[in-house]
Structures are given as structure tokens and as C-alpha cells.
Amino acid sequence: MIIVSFIPFKSNRFAAELDYLTDLTVLITFFKCITGYNMTSQETNEVLFTTSDNAGIIILNRPKALNALSIPILVNLLPKLLEWETKKKLVIIKGAGKSFCAGGDIKQVARTGAYVEFTSVEYNINNLIGHYGIPYIAFIDGITMGGGLGVSVHGKYRVATERTIIAMPETKIGLIPDVGGTYFLPRLPFHLGVYLALTSHTLTGQDVQITGIATHFVSSDRLPELEKALCLCTNDSDVKATLDKFHETTSELSIAPHIKDIDFCFSAASIDEIIFRLTSINNKWSTDTIKAINQMCPTSIKVALAALQRGAQQNLAQCLQMEYRLIQRLAASYNFKEGVRALLIDRDNKPQWSPRSLVEVSENYVETYFQRLPENEELKFLNSKL
């Protein structure tokens, strides 16, 4: 069913790139992802597509799984985004239930062994959203983590509510903030992105808009009214004016008392210097922050910091290509398997990392994760010009 829905599809953008796509790794892995996973009828409804007036509306429809991104979601989402880019005036994405999207379905990916295929399609979606030709509006209402930020933050407009909770918790399971995290995190003010990446700290409600992760803040009970108004918009100016009309004034950042310390500590060039500065502050916040860092995978911490520093100088596509190399290596490592075991399967929350400490992770070892993959294994994008 899914193959039939994809093969006949040809938007203007797709047709223009067809010759290029015949040799594209992502296309090969896309079909591997489809044919290698037998979807049930229930799974094909894990993402819903509707239209209303001028808008295409995407509903992530796995409320019991906090709308975690699954293989069925990704293989349906990419072609629909391409189709609507030329057929609709705007796209709205939202989640069913009380979450937007809690990230990628790590357990499903681990079970199917389709991590290469999963990330290849997912990163193409992230990049497409970042260069989307029409307004893309994400209602990040509720839990929004990892891959949930990947399908929202790269769009032009992001609407937070009082129920929004965001985090990038990848270092807890032996990975790094990906889905473009190395692009948007280092661009947050006061080095907040580095702080979020290395500690898995959460931001909630108005903080998400104040820091720039969201562009607007609207109470959750007003979202249906906002959606109805957006669907009548015919261009980007209309969309912006509508969002601005619904936007509610936000108060001071809840972590404002720690902003100077966050900026001071997480602007350091190395994790050793970050911890040294935290130690020098010597208060409850700094002690708790050091404790949080030490609970993460040591390899992930050092690789993540190096990736964020490089990502600050790169565009979105370059960041995704870098992340792809990192994730392929990290996902194949002992630490990822151990992180999934300790936090998601056995849930003893006692991962036995290797190397066990930050001191044992050398700079030369970190650098091995950044090496290019063989050319036929590198991430390719739908649009060869990106």
C-alpha cells in the first residue's frame, strides 16, 4: 500500500530531480525501509493527512507512544510534504493527544535494525522542512523531544503552549543531539543549546518561545481557533499576521537566575573547562549540573560538544551530513545498546559506559567519529543543490 502511494507520485520538484534520485542513497534506503518492514493496517494510520481550505494538515497519530516517530510515519510523511509543497499554501503539523512528538521510536528501530534507513529518510525530512517553499507551522503542544524537534524547529513557524516540554536527551542513551540539533542548538542565546545538549535539561511553556525555539506562544485551548484562521491564509504575510495576532505576551525566562552562569560555563571550549567553571561557582545549581553531565555517556558528551562547535559554523544540510556520520557510528556502538538497555528495556538506569569516564575519552578517539563515510554511504539529499 505504501509503495503504491509513493511510486506514482511526481511533484514538479520530484520530477526535476528524478535523474539525480536514481543514484541517490536515500531513495535506495527509502525503499529498503518500506519493503523491509511489514506494516499493519493500524500502523499505516500512525500519521494522518487532511486538508482544510488552503492548508495541508499533518497529525502524528500515536498518542499512546507520545507520537514517537515510527517507520510508517516517516515513509508516509516525506512524499506528502513534497506533494503539498506545490499544491497547498501552507502546512500545519500537530500531534494527537497531549504530546506533539517524543522523538524517534528507538525501540522499534533497534528491533528492526533499520537505523541507517530510518535516519536517512528522517534527515531528508528535516532538511526539506528547513528549505520548505511554503509556510510550515508546527504546533509543539505537549512533549517535544529529539526527533519531534527535527520535524518542527526547522520550519518557519513554531507555536508553543503552556503544555510544551522540550528536551534533547540523546546523550542519556549513547547518542548525540541530531535531527539538525547541531544546527539550531548552538544558535540559541547564552549558550543555552550547549547546556541543553550536555545535561538533557528540559524547557517548558513560555521558556520555549523566549529562547527562540518557538516563534510564538498561544494557550492550548486557542489552538483550534488558530488552526481555523491559518487555514484561510493565502500567503506567508497572512500566516505571520495571523500568528502575531494570536501570540500572547510571555514573561521572564524561568531559568533567568542562572543565565549568566550558563553563558559563562557553557561558552568554554572543552568539557573539562565547563566542569572547572561549574565547580568554581559552587552552588546547588552548578553541583546539580555537574551531576547531570556525569550521568550521561562520556563518549556522547565529548562528541556532542565537538559537533555543536562545528555546527555553529555550518548550514543545516552540512550539520545533518555530519550528524549522519556520527549517528551511524554511535548507533553501532556498545554504548548505544547499553543506553537503550538501561533506560528503555531493563530500566535500571545504571548504564555501564565504555569508556567509563570523560577523562578516558581522548580527542583522537572523538575525531574518529567525524571521519567521512565511504562515498556511497554518505547522506544524500533529495535536492542535489542543497
Q: Is 170 a residue of the active site?
A: yes
C-alpha cell at 114: 533499520
* CA distance linking residue 371 with residue 373, whole number of Å: 6
CA angle 50, 54, 60 (to 5 degrees): 30
Active-site option among 46, 141, 178, 338: 178
Query: 379 and 25 in contact (C-beta within 8 Å)?
Result: yes
Catalytic, out of 147, 150, 180, 205: 147
Of 29, 88, 82, the residue nearest 53 (C-alpha): 88
Q: Are 298 and 360 in contact (CB under 8 A)?
A: yes
d(CA 118, CA 108): 10
Calpha distance 265→271 (Å, rounded) = 10
Respond yes or no: is residue 178 known to be catalytic.
Answer: yes
If one counts every other C-beta atom within 10 angstroms of the C-beta of residue 89, the result is 20
CB atoms within 10 A of CB 39: 17
The catalytically annotated residue of 43, 170, 207, 323 is 170
Q: Residue 330's closest CA among 201, 206, 177, 186? A: 177
Which amino acid appears at position 333 of this protein? S
Q: What is the separation, in whole angstroms, between the first and last Cα of the chain?
A: 31
Q: Which of 104, 130, 181, 193 is catalytic?
A: 104
User: Kindly report the CA angle at 370 between 359 and 316, in degrees rounded to 5?
Assistant: 120
147 is catalytic: yes
| 67: nearest Cα among 105, 33, 40 | 105
Nearest to 60 by CA among 98, 106, 100: 100
Cα(210)–Cα(249) distance, integer angstroms: 10
Question: What residues are annotated to the active site?
Answer: 104, 147, 170, 178
